[in-house]
């Protein structure tokens, strides 16, 4: 366990361990399910959106990827409201089913060749259900863990929720590598890509079972209220909502550029093979995952703001040089550049759970966190891969064409860097 390296933050409370494990299982499954689509984007594009050129196919594929994000704010409102009214636990149990079932069905869909335009239509509908679930799962699990955590170590324990998201991405990547290695290219294209999607249903059963056995947080039990008004909500907490959005801009752009887009970018625009690109991405994602608890741990020692500021500034300085390295096609440069981006982003990502929970009072915390986070994910995250492809296409033959996604990533880092000067330090703040 990671607490071996952080002996001062060991937690012996049995119920908290169950809370943490159940949240990590659910989060891992959710991100595994959600990101499979991104890892298989090139194949899904060929099977469901056949086109005469790679640009059109990729744009259509990422367009449906974005559709899932359209539902995230609605899912955030739905599950966030339920989390504040009926409890964090109940909302989390339902969200895990709403993700696993559509994911498994994607693995069973007939292709465009078999049923024509019904194939992308059905795919789009299933992505809508995935987005609805993701809108409640990720932020709900963050609130659930941070509210249960020892007040002195909220940053560290909260970081495990984002750590589990990285693990979900890593498992998805490893699964694609494993299936691609065991099968021939034609077998993988015919049916092998479906296996990781269908397997997701098994984990959801385990996650839901564990969550049903948990208790509610004390913060919810003491502060639950039925007196809710949207007018009062925005009037009292509008500033906190905007602060969260600004802090989350680099999370949205960074996650879906660094952890998702780059692997397809290397294949479609740089010419790196599928196996090499996925292997590099898998190793870099491991670096991302391991750096997350480091960010959370440091934020408990020196404060949230210094760590957020350092990591966002590092991303700002590294984004454009990294994409210059990617465009060379040199495998070693690609590996080290991608690893550097992942580690810097991981440190920032590790602080986010605690700081966004600390922005809102308990009675509207689930709704506030879910709404602001998911709106940011929709506007900046869901569009990031599509915009990256669009920027490259618009730049055409210009020398900086392949670097344009790095410019957009640097923009996100700049916005979030300035946001760290707007928020108040909160690592010693009571949240109950």
Rounded distance between C-alpha atoms, residue 260 and residue 280, angstroms: 12
Residue 215 pLDDT: 65
223 within some domain: no
Contact 79, 95 (CB under 8 A): yes
Domain check: are 143 and 290 in the same one?
A: no
Cα 147 from Cα 234, distance rounded (Å): 23
Render pLDDT for 289-332 as a digit per residue (tens, 0 to 9). Answer: 999 999 999 999 999 999 999 999 999 999 999 999 999 989 99
Question: Would you state the pLDDT for residue 7?
Answer: 47
Statement to judge: residues 201 and 131 lie in one domain: yes
Same domain, yes or no: 275 and 188: no
Whether residue 229 is contained in a domain is answered as: no
CA 329/CA 268 separation, integer angstroms: 12
Is there a single domain that holds both residue 79 and residue 166?
Answer: yes
The answer as to whether 4 is a domain residue is no
- In this structure, is residue 392 part of a structural domain? yes
List the structure tokens of 158: 């909260």
pLDDT of amino acid 31: 77
53 and 165 within one domain: yes
Per-residue pLDDT, 284: 92
Let me know whether 124 and 248 are in one domain: no
The tally of domains found in the chain comes to 2
3-state secondary structure of 142: helix
Contact (CB, 8 A) for 343 and 393: no
Give the DSSP letter string of 102-134.
Answer: HHHHHTT---HHHHTTHHHHHHHHHHHHHHHHH
Residues 254 and 190 in one domain: no
Cα separation, 159 vs 156, in Å, equals 5
Does some domain include residue 111?
A: yes
Q: How far apart are CA 257 and CA 265, in angstroms?
A: 9
Same domain? 296 vs 159: no
pLDDT value of residue 58: 67
Last residue of a domain, one of 178, 211, 244: 211
* 95 three-class SS: helix
Domain boundary among 196, 211, 226: 211
Distance CA 7, CA 156 (A): 12
Distance CA 260, CA 26 (A): 20
* CB contact at 8 A, 73 and 371: yes
Token pair 């397997």 is found at: 199
Q: How far is Cα 139 from Cα 161, in angstroms, rounded to an integer?
A: 9
Q: Is 372 among the domain residues?
A: yes
Contact predicate 164/296, CB 8 Å: no
Query: Are the C-beta atoms of residues 125 and 48 closer than 8 Å to each other?
Result: no
Which CATH number does the domain housing residue 26 bear?
Answer: 1.20.1250.20
For residues 178 and 315, state if they share a domain: no
For residue 216, tell me if it sits in a domain.
no
Q: Do 205 and 85 have their domain in common?
A: yes
Domain range for 173 is 14-211
Nearest alpha carbon to residue 366 among 90, 88, 164, 160: 88
Instruction: Tell me phi and psi for residue 5, to 5 degrees.
Output: -85, -10
DSSP string computed for 354-401? HHHHTTS-GGGHHHHHHHHHHHHIIIIITTHHHHHHHHHHHHTTSTTG
Residue 407 lies in a domain: yes
Instruction: Give the chain's residues under pLDDT 50.
Output: 1-2, 4-5, 7
Three-state DSSP class for residue 46: helix
* Together in a domain, 18 and 97: yes
Q: Which residue has the tokens 């923009």?
A: 411
Residues 199 and 63 in one domain: yes
């Amino acid at each position: 366990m990671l607490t071996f390296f952080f002996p001062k933050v060991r937690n012996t409370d049995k119920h908290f361990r169950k809370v943490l494990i159940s949240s990590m299982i659910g989060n891992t499954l959710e991100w595994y399910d959600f990101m499979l689509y991104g890892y298989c984007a090139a194949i899904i594009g060929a099977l469901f959106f056949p086109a005469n050129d790679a640009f059109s196919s990729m744009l259509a594929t990422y367009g449906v990827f974005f559709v899932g994000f359209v539902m995230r704010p609605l899912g955030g409102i739905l599950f966030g409201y339920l989390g504040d009214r009926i409890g964090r636990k109940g909302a989390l149990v339902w969200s895990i089913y709403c993700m696993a079932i559509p994911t498994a069905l994607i693995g069973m869909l007939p292709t465009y060749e078999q049923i024509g335009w019904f194939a992308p239509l059905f795919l789009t509908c299933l992505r809508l259900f995935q987005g609805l679930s993701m809108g409640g799962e990720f932020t709900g699990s963050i609130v659930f863990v941070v509210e249960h955590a020892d007040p002195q170590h909220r940053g560290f324990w909260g970081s495990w929720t984002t750590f589990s998201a990285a693990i979900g991405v890593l498992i998805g990547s490893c699964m694609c590598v494993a299936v691609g290695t065991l099968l021939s290219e034609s077998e993988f294209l015919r049916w092998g890509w479906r296996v990781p999607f269908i397997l997701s249903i098994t984990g959801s059963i385990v996650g839901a079972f564990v969550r049903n056995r948990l208790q509610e947080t004390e913060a919810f039990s003491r502060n639950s209220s039925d007196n809710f008004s949207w007018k009062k909500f925005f009037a009292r907490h509008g500033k906190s909502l905007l602060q969260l959005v600004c802090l989350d801009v680099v999370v949205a752009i960074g996650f879906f550029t660094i952890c998702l887009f780059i692997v397809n970018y290397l294949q479609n625009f740089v010419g790196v093979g599928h196996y090499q690109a996925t292997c590099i991405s898998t190793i870099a994602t491991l670096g991302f995952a391991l750096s997350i608890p480091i960010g959370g741990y440091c934020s408990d020692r020196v404060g949230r703001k210094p760590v957020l500021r350092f990591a966002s500034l590092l991303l700002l300085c590294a984004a454009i040089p990294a994409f210059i390295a990617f465009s060379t096609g040199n495998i070693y440069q690609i590996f080290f550049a991608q690893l550097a981006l992942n580690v810097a982003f991981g440190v920032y990502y590790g602080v986010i759970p605690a700081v966004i929970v600390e922005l809102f009072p308990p009675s509207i915390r689930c709704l506030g966190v879910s709404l602001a986070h998911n709106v940011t994910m929709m506007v900046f995250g869901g569009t990031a891969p599509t915009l990256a492809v669009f920027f490259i296409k618009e730049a055409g033959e210009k020398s900086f064409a392949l670097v344009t996604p790095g410019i957009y990533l640097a923009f996100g880092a700049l916005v979030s860097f300035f946001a760290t000067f707007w928020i108040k330090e909160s690592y010693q703040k009571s949240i109950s």
